[in-house]
């Protein structure tokens, strides 16, 4: 009922088209981009002779081109995410993708010519202040030198990507967006089915889990075929580009070494005892011998509470205000200027995200708000992304975004601030227990579950390369094994849960992405702890971090807020914070009378 308050919270995408709101404006943007690309392409073969000023002019031209294409692509893709059942929206996404790819292939030569320069020449150029707006980007691009192919090969791979990986990913998103769940005698969305897994009632949770499993059954083989195809596509690409492992290209994009990422994974796996300890404790609180997979997110509240959109908005804005009035003022614009699309509705893509769009416009936030308390924290999380994007917009297209490993820092921080506000306003012992439980479960989901999902990806990519096409049962077996390693004997993995990998978009669209959640959560917890210790003195440094975007390497960005990301022990510090949260939740369970000493 209270979710209906979000029915009219729909974004206005016309800002991306300078006030227009139709396909003709998108086509006009693409025509302008095509003309600009031809102008830039006329400089082919000259990179080796350029001085810093000429290189800066070319990079400024490429930035303008990226802005133009980005506006068109963002408008088309965001409209499509809001209603994947509309074939005209899907057709426009495809048109933009095809034309953007054709435009971008005209400039493939630049990356190859830039990579061919020797290091001394590059550093001489980048020392010029006129290239500061693109310097880190240009240095980062050279990391791919040994993985680049010839220009004809790069052109073929780029052009074919539209009908290859891009097409398969779009098909997967369309299929998962139209999954129907039968609950209470009516047809509803996958999002609502999953949200019911947090219900206090075990009967409601079991019914929801059965409905989700049944809803995933139709099309499961098709989604498995898509997954198999993209697994092999990545194997071929990795082989052609000489990447040593399936995760190496993702790590390179994240400006992280294979070794440092493995150190993170190892550190988390060593502490799988923490989620197992929590779920054993939760089973005692719920009065059962052992949790089933659908019980993991069960609310410990005595009743199934709902939070209306207006209350959620006020709570999140008050939370940001308590930290930084500047951030609260920016966050308020998302609500006042229609930068959010909130309601869950048929045909809308599942999940939540923030689209950075382009620096010259502003970000947009996409939600499926169902009025659960978890949705309030999701709103705070995505607004954190939005604030990061907004504050970094002055960095321009080359440096606004960060590597995925730092992309979750502001979102998790914002979520943590909001959680603190919720806890501060909750005095009832039972309600505090429910909140603390949600907090520790959020940490477990982000750090431990995402690492287990990384282990699933590792096993499924490895198996696909060694065994050939994988059956639905084989994928389900690998999925269940990765979850069982994390959960031990504390949680029973049911047969139905073996298909639940099949709605996760990250495995399809951004393979290797998920460990970035664990990275970002542990980093954000460390950052938040410094805020607790330093108070208002910490705020300027935090805003500096967000405003820097991706203009520096991750280690340099970490140093702004006093974090040494190169220290292997850094991860243990973040995990220790989660253990402290678990201790607090355990104490609250005794104080609330849900456990006896």
Which ranges constitute the DSSP H helices of 83-142?
Answer: 87-105, 108-116, 119-126, 135-141
pLDDT tens sequence for the chain (597 residues): 344 478 899 999 999 999 998 899 999 999 999 999 999 999 999 999 999 999 999 999 999 999 999 999 999 999 999 999 999 999 999 999 999 999 999 999 999 999 999 999 999 999 999 999 999 999 999 999 999 999 999 999 999 998 999 999 999 999 998 899 999 999 998 988 998 998 889 999 999 999 999 999 999 999 999 999 999 999 999 999 999 999 999 999 998 888 888 889 999 999 999 999 999 999 999 999 999 999 999 988 766 678 899 999 999 999 999 999 999 999 999 999 999 999 998 889 888 999 999 999 999 999 999 888 889 999 999 999 999 999 999 999 999 999 888 888 899 899 989 998 888 888 888 888 888 888 898 889 999 999 999 999 999 999 999 999 999 999 999 999 999 999 999 999 999 999 999 999 999 999 998 998 898 888 888 888 888 889 999 999 999 999 999 999 988 998 999 888 878 788 888 899 899 989 988 888 888 888 876
Between the alpha carbon of residue 144 and those of residues 115, 416, 533, the distances in Å are 8, 36, 40
Is the distance from CB of 100 to CB of 68 less than 8 angstroms?
A: no
Sequence-distant (≥ 6) Cβ neighbours of residue 431 within 8 angstroms: 301
Minimal CA–CA distance to 437: which of 379, 389, 373? 373
pLDDT of residue 304: 62
**Which backbone phi and psi does 372 adopt, to 5 degrees?**
-80, 155
For the stretch 417-420, contacts whose Cβ atoms lie closer than 8 Å and that sit 24 or more positions apart, written own/partner, are: 417/319, 417/320, 417/322, 417/323, 417/380, 417/528, 418/315, 418/316, 418/319, 418/320, 418/376, 418/377, 418/380, 419/377, 420/319
Residue 119 burial by CB count (10 A; 0-12/13-18/19+): exposed, middle or buried?
exposed
**Which backbone phi and psi does 395 adopt, to 5 degrees?**
-75, -15
CA 252, CA 241: separation in Å to the nearest integer?
13
pTM beyond 0.95: no
Is the distance from CB of 319 to CB of 384 less than 8 angstroms?
A: no
pLDDT of residue 303: 67
CA 367, CA 382: separation in Å to the nearest integer?
8
Is the distance from CB of 26 to CB of 72 less than 8 angstroms?
A: yes
Q: Encoding tokens for residue 108? A: 């493939």
Could you give the angle at which helices 23-41 and 87-105 cross, rounded to 10 degrees? 10
CA 580, CA 206: separation in Å to the nearest integer?
31
The string of DSSP codes covering 178-202 is: T-EEEETTEEEEHHHHHHGGG-S-H
Between the alpha carbon of residue 36 and those of residues 23, 27, 247, the distances in Å are 20, 14, 35
Q: Encoding tokens for residue 259? A: 């070794």
CA 492, CA 279: separation in Å to the nearest integer?
11
Q: Which residues pair with 492 in a beta bridge?
A: 292
pLDDT of residue 525: 86
Could you give the angle at which helices 309-323 and 373-391 cross, rounded to 10 degrees? 50
pLDDT of residue 1: 38
Is the distance from CB of 323 to CB of 356 less than 8 angstroms?
A: no
A 10 A CB-CB count for 42 gives 9
Between the alpha carbon of residue 266 and those of residues 291, 451, 568, 570, the distances in Å are 26, 9, 10, 13
Q: Which residues pair with 189 in a beta bridge?
A: 180
> Which residue's structure tokens are 């989620």?
275
Between the alpha carbon of residue 291 and those of residues 192, 269, 298, 471, 593, the distances in Å are 22, 21, 10, 28, 20
**CA-based radius of gyration for the chain:** 24
A 10 A CB-CB count for 87 gives 8
Is the distance from CB of 324 to CB of 531 less than 8 angstroms?
A: no
Minimal CA–CA distance to 424: which of 522, 524, 315? 315
Sequence-distant (≥ 6) Cβ neighbours of residue 354 within 8 angstroms: 363, 364, 365, 366, 382, 383, 385, 386, 389, 411
SS3 state of residue 292 = strand
Distance of CA 16 to the CA centre of its chain: 22
Domains of the chain: 2-169 (1.20.140.70), 263-288+402-597 (1.10.1370.20)
SS3 state of residue 369 = strand
pLDDT of residue 408: 86
What's 46's DSSP letter?
-
CA 558, CA 560: separation in Å to the nearest integer?
5
Q: Encoding tokens for residue 534? A: 């330093």
CA 381, CA 505: separation in Å to the nearest integer?
18
pLDDT of residue 591: 86
pLDDT of residue 564: 86
């Amino acid at each position: 009922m209270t979710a209906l308050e979000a029915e009219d919270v729909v974004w206005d995408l016309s800002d991306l088209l300078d006030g227009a709101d139709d396909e003709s404006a998108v086509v006009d943007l693409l025509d302008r981009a095509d003309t600009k690309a031809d102008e830039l392409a006329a400089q082919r073969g000259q990179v080796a002779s350029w001085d810093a000023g000429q290189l800066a002019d070319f990079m400024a031209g490429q930035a303008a081109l990226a802005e133009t294409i980005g506006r068109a692509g963002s408008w088309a893709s965001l409209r499509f995410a809001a209603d994947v059942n509309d074939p005209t929206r899907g057709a426009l996404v495809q048109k933009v993708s095809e034309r953007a790819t054709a435009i971008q292939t005209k400039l493939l030569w630049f990356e190859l010519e830039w990579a061919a320069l020797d290091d001394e020449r590059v550093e001489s150029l980048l020392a010029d202040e006129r290239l500061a707006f693109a310097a880190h980007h240009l240095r980062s691009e050279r990391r791919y030198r040994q993985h680049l192919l010839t220009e004809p090969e790069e052109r073929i791979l780029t052009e074919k990507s539209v009908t290859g990986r891009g097409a398969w990913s779009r098909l997967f998103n369309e299929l998962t967006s139209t999954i129907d769940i039968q609950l209470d005698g009516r047809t509803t969305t996958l999002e609502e089915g999953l949200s019911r897994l947090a219900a206090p009632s075990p009967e409601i949770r079991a019914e929801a889990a059965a409905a989700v499993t049944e809803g995933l059954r139709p099309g499961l083989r098709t989604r498995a075929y898509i997954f198999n195809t993209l697994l092999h596509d990545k194997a071929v690409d990795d082989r052609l580009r000489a990447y040593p492992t399936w995760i190496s290209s993702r790590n390179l994009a994240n400006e992280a070494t294979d070794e440092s990422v493995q150190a993170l994974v190892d550190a988390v796996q060593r502490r799988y005892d923490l989620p197992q300890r929590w779920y054993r404790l939760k089973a005692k609180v719920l009065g059962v011998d052992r949790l089933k997979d659908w019980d993991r997110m069960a609310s410990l509240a005595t009743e199934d509470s709902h939070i209306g959109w207006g209350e959620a908005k006020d709570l999140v804005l008050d939370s940001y205000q308590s930290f930084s009035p500047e951030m609260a003022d920016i966050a308020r614009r998302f609500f006042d200027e229609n930068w959010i699309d909130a309601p869950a509705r048929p045909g809308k893509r599942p999940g939540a995200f923030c689209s950075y769009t382009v620096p010259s416009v502003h970000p947009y936030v996409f939600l499926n708000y169902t009025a659960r308390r978890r949705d309030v924290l999701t709103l705070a999380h995505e607004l954190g992304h939005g604030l990061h994007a907004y504050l970094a917009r002055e960095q321009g297209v080359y440096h606004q975004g960060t590597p995925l490993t730092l992309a979750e820092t502001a979102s998790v921080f914002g979520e943590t601030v909001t959680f603190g506000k919720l806890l501060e306003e909750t005095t009832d012992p039972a309600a505090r227990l429910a909140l603390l439980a949600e907090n520790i479960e959020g940490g477990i989901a982000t750090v431990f579950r995402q690492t287990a999902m990384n282990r699933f990806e590792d096993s499924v990519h490895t198996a696909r390369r060694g065994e050939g096409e994988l059956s639905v049962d084989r994928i389900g077996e690998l999925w269940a094994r990765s979850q069982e390693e994390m959960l031990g004997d504390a949680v029973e993995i049911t047969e139905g849960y073996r298909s639940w990998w099949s709605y996760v978009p990250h495995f399809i669209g951004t393979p290797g992405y998920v460990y970035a959640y664990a990275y970002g959560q542990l980093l954000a917890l460390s950052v938040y702890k410094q805020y607790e210790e330093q108070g208002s003195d910490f705020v300027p440094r935090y805003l500096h971090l967000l405003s820097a975007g991706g203009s520096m390497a991750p280690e340099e960005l970490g140093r702004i807020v006093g974090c040494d990301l190169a220290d292997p022990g850094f991860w243990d510090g973040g995990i220790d914070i989660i253990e402290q949260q678990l201790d607090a939740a355990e104490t609250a369970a005794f104080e609330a009378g849900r456990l006896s000493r």
